[in-house]
Amino acid sequence: MPPTSRPLRKLGFLTIGLFDEQNPRAGHESTLDLIELGEQLGFDSAWVRHRHLQYGISSPIALLAAATQRTHRIELGTAVIPLGWENPLRLAEDLATVDLLSGGRLNPGVSVGPPRRYDRVKEALYPNTAESEDFSYERVRRLLDFVRGERATDFSGLEGFEVFSDRVQPHSPGLGSRMWYGGGSLNSAQWAGEQGMNLLISSVVKAEESEDFAQIQLSHVHAFRSTHPNGDRARVSQGLVVIPTDSATPSQRAKYESYAASRTPRTTSPQGPARLMFAPDIVGTSTEIAERLHAHAAFQEIDEVAFALPFTFEHEDYLQILTDMATKLGPELGWRPAA
The pLDDT assigned to 4 comes to 64
Region 271-277 average pLDDT: 95
Average pLDDT, the chain: 96
Q: Kindly give, in sequence order, each residue whose CB lies less than 8 Å from that of residue 238, ignoring residues fewer than 6 positions away.
A: 201, 217, 298, 299, 302, 304, 305, 306
Region 314-332 average pLDDT: 98
Region 321-331 average pLDDT: 98
- The predicted-structure confidence for 229-249, as pLDDT tens digits, reads as follows 999 999 999 999 999 999 999
- The predicted-structure confidence for 87-111, as pLDDT tens digits, reads as follows 999 999 999 999 999 999 999 999 9
Q: How confident is the model at residue 3 (pLDDT cuts 50, 70, 90)?
A: low
The pLDDT assigned to 339 comes to 81
- DSSP string of 22-50, one letter each residue: TBHHHHHHHHHHHHHHHHHHT-SEEEE--
List the beta bridge partners of residue 157. Answer: 164
The pLDDT assigned to 2 comes to 46
- The predicted-structure confidence for 142-178, as pLDDT tens digits, reads as follows 999 999 999 999 999 999 999 999 999 999 999 999 9
| Backbone φ, ψ for residue 205 (5° rounding) | -135, 165
Region 312-318 average pLDDT: 96
**Cβ–Cβ under 8 Å, residues 117 and 54:** no
The pLDDT assigned to 1 comes to 43
The pLDDT assigned to 6 comes to 83
Query: Does 52 score more than 80 pLDDT?
Result: yes
- DSSP string of 128-190, one letter each residue: TTTTT---STHHHHHHHHHHTT-BSSS--EEETTEEE-SB-SS--TTGGGG-EEEE-SHHHHH
Q: How confident is the model at residue 53 (pLDDT cuts 50, 70, 90)?
A: very high
Q: Kindly give, in sequence order, each residue whose CB lies less than 8 Å from that of residue 137, ignoring residues fewer than 6 positions away.
A: 112, 191
End-to-end CA distance of the chain, in Å?
30
What is the C-alpha separation between 221 and 215, in angstroms, rounded?
10
**All domains of the chain, ordered by start, with CATH?**
10-155+176-332 (3.20.20.30)
Say what the pTM is: 0.96
Region 284-297 average pLDDT: 98
What is the C-alpha separation between 31 and 338, in angstroms, rounded?
21
**Which segments within 60-142 are labelled E, that is strand?**
75-82, 106-111
